[in-house]
Amino acid sequence: MTDIESGDIERRAIDVIRGFAMDAPHAAKSGHQGTAMALAPLAHVLWSRIMSYDAADPQWPDRDRFVLSAGHASILLYSMLYLNGYGLELDDLRAFRQWGSATPGHPEVHHTAGVEVTTGPLGQGFANAVGMAMTERSMRERFGAEVCDHYTFAIAGDGCLSEGISHEAASLAGFQGLGRLVVVYDDNHITIDGPTELALTDDAVRRFEAYGWHVEYLGEIAEDLDALEAAVRGAMAVEDRPSLLVLRSHIGYPSPTATDNPHAHGYALFDAEITATKAVMGVPDEQFWCPDDVIEWYRAVGHRGAARRAAWTDRRLALTTQVREQYDLVLSGGGAEGWSATLPRWTSADKPIATRVASGNCFQALLDVVPSLSGGGADLTGNTGTVVKDHGTMSRTQPSGRQIHFGVREHGMGGIMNGMALHGGALPVGGTFLVFSDYMRGAVRLAALSQAHVIYSFTHDSVGVGEDGPTHQPVEHIAALRAIPGLRVIRPGDANETALAWIEAVNGPGPTAMILSRQNLPVIDGVPADAVSRGAYVVPVDHASGGVAPDVVLLATGSEVSVCVAAAAELAAEGLVPRVVSMPCWTNFEAQPADYVESVLPAGVPCVSVEAAVTFGWSRWADVSVGIDRFGASAPGDVVMDKLGINSANVAQHARALLGRK
C-alpha cells in the first residue's frame, strides 16, 4: 500500500466522497458540489455507523429510511449508493446528470435503487420524512416491533426550512410526537443569492422547540465523526418527540477558494480548484479516485445488514398466518379479495346525493377491506368526505388511529401523504376544497412524478359552491390538475360513478384526484361497471333508440352530466336525437382503442362539451364548449350556475346553434 492507502480508512472514505462531489458535477459541467463536500462526514457516519439497511435488498420493509431533502446535493446520495453496493457503478457517477443515466440531477424514487423519495423542490423531502415516520409508527403499533422497528433520517438545508411546506410538516410532526424522526439541519449560512442573512435570521432552535421538537445545536462538529455519531444516537434515544440537530457546516470545505462561498452552492470548482482541494486533502489528483480497499470496506458495510434482514424475515414468518397476511396486505396498499363488493350502490329511487357525500360513504365502507387506507382533511374533514369512524384518530397516544387531522396545512398534507405512501404500508387520503389544491400543487406534482399511491378528495368543485364567492369557487383548477402527467383526475357525474372512481383509485398505480361536488346530484341508473376505467361512456338515457345515429353529442363531467340529461330531453322533444356522454376521466378515455372511442364519440357527429369550469382543453373532444372562462360570483350556488350559463336551456341552445337550427 502507498502512504495514502495505509491511512485511516474512514478518513479516506470521506475523501473519496468529497472527490466524487467535485468530479461528477465537473464532468457534467452542471450540478451542486459544495453541500455534498461539506456533508461527506455526516453521510459517512449515517451510512457506516448508524443506519440499518441491506444494500442487497433496497426494498426490505424494516430498513431505516434516508431522505435527502436538500436534493440538489444528489451526488452525495449517489456516492453512498455506489460505495455501499446498491448497484451503481463508477460509470454511473461519470454519467451524472446525463440522458438516460441512473444519476439524474435530483434523486428520483423508482429510478435509482436506494432512493426513497423524489426530492429537489426544497422542503418536500422534509415533509416526506414526516410522512414516513408517521407510517412507521402506525405499522409498529399495529403489528409490533418484531416486524416494524426502524428510523427515518433526513438532511435538510436552509432552503428546506425556509419553504412554507417544512413549517406545516414540522408543526404536525411535533404535535404527533414522532420520536423515530431525526432531521439534521445543514446550517451552512449559504443560499444561491448569498449569505442567508440576506433574508433569513430565524432562530431555528427556538422555532422547532416551539413546534414541540427535541432540538440540539451541535455547532462546529461537521468534521468530528465520533461527535456526529453521538449526536445522532442521542436523538434516536428521544422516543416522544422528533429531533432536529442543527449542524454548522461550511459549504465547499475543504476547498481553499470555495469554502463558505455562495458560488459553491452550485458548480463552482473547476480544474484548478479541484486540483488545489485534492492537494489539501492529500489524495491523488485523478478523477473519480477510489482505492480498492475503500470500496471493499464500504461494500462490507453495505451488506452488514444482511443478518438483521434475515432475523427480520424469521420474525415475520413467526407471525400467525392471519397477522402475517394482514401485514402483507397493508404493505401492498391494496384490498382484500373481493373488496370492491363492499362499496355502496345507489339507484334513481334514492334521493340526490352530493358526490363528496357518496365518496365519504365509500371511504368508510372500505376501511376494513383496504386496511392500508387512512387519512382526513386539511381542517375540512367533514366537508370533504374524509371522516373515519370507529378506527381511532392518529395521535401520539394512539399512533395506529386511521383518522388523520392534518390541520390547515394543505401543502404539508400533500408532502406528508407522499412520504406515507412511499414508505409502504399506507394508502393515504387527503381532502380539501378544489380551489385550495393550488396550495398543495407542488406536492401533487411530485406525487405524479413519484407515482406515489395517494388519493385526493377535492370537493366543492365548481361555482356551485355559491355564496363564498369567487375566492372559493374553482374554475381553472380541473384543467390545471389535468395538465399534470401521471395524475389520474376523475370527476364523477353521480354517486355510482364515485364508487367506481374509488375502484380506480385503489387499484390504479400512482395518485388519483377525485373532483367532487358540494351540491346534490341525481343518481344515474345503469352506469356500466367500466364507466370510469374506460374514461367515458354513453349515459343510458340515450334518446337514440333503434340504432339511430345521434344528431348531436352532449359531453359532460360531474354535476353537468345531469344538466345534459335535461338538455337532451328538450332536444328530443323537438325531434332531434341527442346522445349524452359522461367523461369522468380524460386520461382513461385517451388510452382506449379507437373503436371504443368511435362508439362513444362518433366521428362527424357534432359535439357540445359542458363543464362548470374553464373550457381549456375541451376542443380536443368538442366542437363547441359551454363553460366558465371567468371567475365566479357570490350568490346561492344554483343562481351562480344559472347566471353563468350552466343550465339545460343554454346547453340545448348551443346544440341547436351547432346544428344550424333556430
Pairing of strands 512-515, 537-538: unpaired
Is 0.85 topped by the overall pTM? yes
- Write out pLDDT tens, residues 151-194: 999 999 999 999 999 999 999 999 999 999 999 999 999 999 99
In our burial notation (b when 16+ CB lie closer than 10 A, e otherwise), range 399-435 reads bebbbbbbbebbbbbbbbbbbbbbbbbbbbbbbbbbb
pLDDT at 545: 54
Asked if the structure places residue 329 within a domain, the reply is no
Domain boundary among 306, 336, 369: 306
Across 65-88, average pLDDT? 98
**Residue 7 predicted with pLDDT over 50:** no
Asked if the structure places residue 425 within a domain, the reply is yes
Asked if the structure places residue 36 within a domain, the reply is yes
**Residue 24 predicted with pLDDT over 90:** yes
User: Which residues contact residue 453 at a Cβ distance below 8 angstroms, ignoring those fewer than 6 apart?
Assistant: 333, 421, 427, 509, 510, 511
| Residues 541 and 510 reside in one and the same domain | no
| Residues 31 and 164 reside in one and the same domain | yes
Catalytic residue among 116, 273, 410, 611: 410
pLDDT at 661: 79
Asked if the structure places residue 251 within a domain, the reply is yes
Residue 312 has, within 13 A of its CA and on its CB side, a CA count of 19
Instruction: Please report how the helices 9-28 and 271-281 are oriented relative to each other, as an axis angle in degrees rounded to 10.
Output: 180
User: Which residues contact residue 630 at a Cβ distance below 8 angstroms, ignoring those fewer than 6 apart?
Assistant: 475, 644
pLDDT at 662: 58
Q: What is the rounded average pLDDT for all residues in the chain?
A: 96
| Residues 80 and 50 reside in one and the same domain | yes
Q: What is the CA radius of gyration of the chain?
A: 28
| Residues 197 and 105 reside in one and the same domain | yes
| Residues 127 and 223 reside in one and the same domain | yes
Cβ 555 vs Cβ 581: under 8 Å: yes
Across 145-156, average pLDDT? 98
| Residues 248 and 205 reside in one and the same domain | yes
**Residue 546 predicted with pLDDT over 60:** no
- Write out pLDDT tens, residues 378-433: 999 999 999 999 999 999 999 999 999 999 999 999 999 999 999 999 999 999 99
pLDDT confidence band for 544 (50 / 70 / 90): low
Cβ 119 vs Cβ 6: under 8 Å: no
- Write out pLDDT tens, residues 432-445: 999 999 999 999 99
| Residues 373 and 433 reside in one and the same domain | yes
**Residue 358 predicted with pLDDT over 80:** yes
Asked if the structure places residue 326 within a domain, the reply is no
Number of domains in the chain: 3
Q: How many CB atoms are located within 10 Å of the residue 221 CB?
A: 18
pLDDT confidence band for 548 (50 / 70 / 90): confident
Residue ranges of alpha helices (H) inside 548-593 are: 560-573, 586-590
Asked if the structure places residue 206 within a domain, the reply is yes
| Residues 262 and 369 reside in one and the same domain | no
Across 29-54, average pLDDT? 98
- Write out pLDDT tens, residues 471-504: 999 999 999 999 999 999 999 999 999 999 999 9
CATH of the domain at 576: 3.40.50.920
Asked if the structure places residue 528 within a domain, the reply is no
- Write out pLDDT tens, residues 495-538: 999 999 999 999 999 999 999 999 999 999 999 999 999 999 99
Across 300-305, average pLDDT? 96
410 counts as catalytic = yes
pLDDT confidence band for 6 (50 / 70 / 90): very low
Asked if the structure places residue 322 within a domain, the reply is no
Domain boundary among 481, 515, 549: 515
| Residues 547 and 511 reside in one and the same domain | no
**Residue 571 predicted with pLDDT over 50:** yes
3-state SS of 98-122 is CCCCCCCCCCCCCCCCCCCCCCCCC
| Residues 506 and 567 reside in one and the same domain | no
CATH of the domain at 433: 3.40.50.970
In our burial notation (b when 16+ CB lie closer than 10 A, e otherwise), range 374-383 reads bbbbbbbbeb
| Residues 397 and 511 reside in one and the same domain | yes
Domain housing 381: 354-515
Cα 190–Cα 192–Cα 194 angle in degrees, nearest 5: 55
| Residues 289 and 160 reside in one and the same domain | yes
